[in-house]
Amino acid sequence: MNRLFLDANVLFSIAYGSASLEVFWKIGRQRQCRLLASAYVIEEAIRNLSSPGQFKRLKDLLAEVEIVPDADPKIPCPVILPEKDRPVLLAAVQARATHFISGDLQHFNAYRGQIIQGVLICTPRDYLQNIRQP
């Protein structure tokens, strides 16, 4: 079963009401994948919310997400990333995620489609297109 580590931008986008991301929760409920996030990405997502309704929506959706430990700060990052993004990728690696789902093309696009220490870096669209192919 795929283990999908969700980046903060995915979490705050779903909280803002992005209907296209709801499919991740649907396939999670169907036991086709497990949704993962760390406290670090959840805190970042919360900082990007602008209304109590968005916070409630995120809180409700997080009930279906496995909260994994934050990355050990002593472990070096295997790729070049801004300091604030290193703990995100490392948490995905340490949680043994199969996929890192991020819409952050500014920082992760250079690694898009690559497997970094067992974790495939992809956008939500990349992942969904891949699982829908026969």
For the stretch 75-114, pLDDT in tens is 888 887 888 899 999 999 999 999 999 999 888 989 999 9
Quick one: tokens of 107?
Answer: 């920082």
Say if residues 17 and 53 touch (Cβ distance below 8 Å).
no
Strand partners, 4: 35, 99
What are the boundaries of each domain within the chain? 2-131
Q: Which residues pair with 16 in a beta bridge?
A: none
- Find all residues with CB under 8 Å of 118, minimum gap 6, and list them: 93, 96, 98
20: left (phi over 0), alpha (psi -120 to 50) or beta: alpha
Reported residue count of the chain is 134
* CATH homologous superfamily of 2-131: 5'-nuclease (3.40.50.1010)
Assess contact for 34 and 4: CB atoms under 8 A: yes
Name the band, by pLDDT with cuts 50, 70 and 90, for residue 60. Answer: very high
* Residue 23: half-sphere exposure toward Cβ, Cα within 13 Å: 9
Tens of pLDDT, residue by residue over 7-47, are 999 999 999 999 999 999 999 999 999 999 999 999 999 99
